[in-house]
Amino acid sequence: MNLNAHHMILLGCILAMLAGSEAAAQNAQAGRIIGHIDGVAVDDVGAHVHGWACQQGRPESITVHIYANGGAYDAVKGTLVLAGKADLDEEPAVDRACQDTVGRKHRFDIPLPGASLLQFHGMPLYVHGIRVVGNVENAAIGGSGTTRFPDAPAVRRKPSSYPPLSGHYTNMNVHPRVFDTQADLQDIAQRAGRAGSYSNSRFVALGDRVRRDIAAKVDWQATYSGCDLEIYLRGFSYEQKPAYGNDRSDDELRKAMNGKPQLTPPHGAAIVAARAALYAALLKAGAPQLPGTPSVADAAAFARGILLAWADHGFRNDKGKFRLSEEDYCDLKPDGSPVVTQFGTFYGALTLTRGVIYSVHAQDLLEGMDELSLDGQARLDTFHHNMFDTIHSIHNREYEVNMAWKYSDEIYNNQFAGHLTALLALSRLFDDQENFEAALNGGTGAATVKLPWIELFDGIIYGVNDIPLLNITPNTSVDPAKSHPAYTTAIVAPGEINDRYRHSNPLQSMGYSTGSLEGLYMAAEILKNSGFDPYSFRGTHAQSLEMASRYYGCFAKSEGFDNLVTAEKSHSCPDMREYLGSIVNGVAPTVLIGAYRFPNDGDLVALDTAAKASYVKSVFSIESIMFGKWRD
């Protein structure tokens, strides 16, 4: 702190003490609101106003309200911008002014959202302290009206058009053609048969897992047709426990899915089916069958049975019709009461897409092995056509709702990455060029996809000389460890993912970002198999999949996979402050496929061995869509 700033604090304290002495003497329990705005700082964290405020004689930290262009009690009342808390440690001078020898937390340092600066920059800034007891005035503190909102930051605007993705849609009348082709399977099978290779170790693990899945006392034919998305998430779409939201117990799942009493209900049935189908497909492509593991026919029959059970009995309403819209779904708490948000149940599209990409993968592989009858294929086609219509409808409606929301830039996230991966996968399964190109570029008429891949890519990855998006959940603290549920800096680095506002816990900040990146990689595999070149694609700011993989790889190199980000070790990673205290999780699979698809990238290749060591410990290490997308 410089000398002038120190004198200002002392002067503010003295004036406040003099002003409040008479009132304090009259009522020590309900003293006046006092305080002072020390200034507005603008740095790489963004703009933030700091100072102190308290109710004299009270130990509690008080709430402060920030107004623009006038105070709360002026003749022309100002505009309330946001609220914060004066709950940071202060120095003895502030203790004395506040007449507090107990609480001693009366300083504030409150972020000013970039979006608010667009509206209020240059206007006088007022800070009102809010009393905790008594009927004293919620007064403006010292410095109010003479302090001003700083200039607005630059705004990242949508381009008039996006760079085209090179290539063109290539029809293919054989399966598989979505996430893998027959050539891919043969390559993976060859590597899986090479003793001592990474692919061999993962293939052994895959075979053992499929063996255990088939032998497990699980009611694999149990399905669900209610409206509750949490049941679909746990039973169909997401295998690991706990899942998201209000996770269900096995007893709750069994009851909802009409499961057999002596068997466990299925967890992530679509994922389990895809895993079995992949194992069968690799065996048929030439991988060696391991002792005690299922045959091609057994693994394929297992996968087929799961898919057909859901195709025939899942996702229906009370009239037996397929649930085709957002209104057909609900989100229930364990007690049966609904979860209500401003978005309705729109995250239902994410719940569905998490499973559908795997059911598509499984059907595609089964068709490629001729392990589906014409009747079975027709039933699965009907199921996946309905799934396409549902996800397409919810995606477009969710886009509209999000764009009307004050945090509209949050549409560029892992949820929409999931929607688009599913729409691309479903379209490719049916070799449907019109809907495929709509998911890629936007389309027209009934096929329109309101947030297509080409726009999502440009908004979700930051590039060279880029500018942060502003309409996002604002920070609640300048300290990333204390800002919940959001934290974002006023600067961005090439390759960062715009999915960082979720900051509820250390796993989410980087885990959500790399989750978005993994979704982009899954979509890239579909695009590659469909005639396009996503791996050389560059957005309007030169952003690319390689750039994003390298960015998060920096933290893995500095800290090691699955460790906490620290300033000491990660200081060389651009915009390191954004991720302080976060866990380097979800980075290993993106490094593995990055090193595989960009073999000339020395930084990614150098991380490959450590990424394998990390990934092999993950419950997702035999995930079927990305299986084999690594170096041997």
8-state DSSP, 249: P
| Tokens matching residue 622 | 């035999």
**The predicted structure's pLDDT at residue 247:** 76
Same domain, 447 and 566: no
Residue 156 is assigned to a structural domain of this protein = no
**The predicted structure's pLDDT at residue 92:** 94
Residue 401 is assigned to a structural domain of this protein = yes
The identity of residue 230, as a single letter, is E
Domain boundary among 451, 471, 487: 451
| Tokens matching residue 157 | 């605007």
Residue 163 is assigned to a structural domain of this protein = no
Same domain, 45 and 183: no
Residue 172 is assigned to a structural domain of this protein = no
Residue 559 is assigned to a structural domain of this protein = yes
Same domain, 481 and 430: no
Same domain, 474 and 618: yes
**The predicted structure's pLDDT at residue 241:** 82
Residue 161 is assigned to a structural domain of this protein = no
Domain boundary among 407, 430, 451: 451
Same domain, 226 and 90: no
Same domain, 284 and 328: yes
| Tokens matching residue 357 | 């990409």
Same domain, 250 and 274: yes
Separation of CA 113 from chain center = 21
Tell me if 424 sits within 8 A of 377, measured CB to CB.
Answer: no
d(CA 266, CA 253): 8
Tell me if 428 sits within 8 A of 529, measured CB to CB.
Answer: yes
pTM of the model: 0.92
Residue 396 is assigned to a structural domain of this protein = yes
**The predicted structure's pLDDT at residue 25:** 38
Same domain, 388 and 419: yes
Same domain, 496 and 627: yes
> What count of other Cβ atoms lies within 10 Å of the Cβ of residue 587?
31
**Residue-range definition of the domain harbouring residue 549:** 461-632
Element (H, E) at 434: helix 433-441
**Domain CATH code at residue 407:** 1.50.10
Residue 630 is assigned to a structural domain of this protein = yes
Same domain, 95 and 141: yes
| Tokens matching residue 45 | 């964290």
User: Which spans in 102-179 are helix H?
Assistant: 114-120
Same domain, 393 and 495: no
Q: Mean pLDDT, consecutive 10-residue segments, the chain of 632 residues? A: 44 48 48 97 95 96 98 95 96 95 94 95 98 94 98 93 97 98 98 96 97 98 94 93 75 94 97 98 96 96 98 95 90 77 68 96 98 98 97 93 90 93 98 98 97 97 95 92 91 92 83 95 98 98 98 98 96 95 95 98 98 95 97 96
Same domain, 306 and 206: yes
Domain boundary among 451, 472, 488: 451
Structural domains in the chain (count): 3
d(CA 601, CA 75): 63
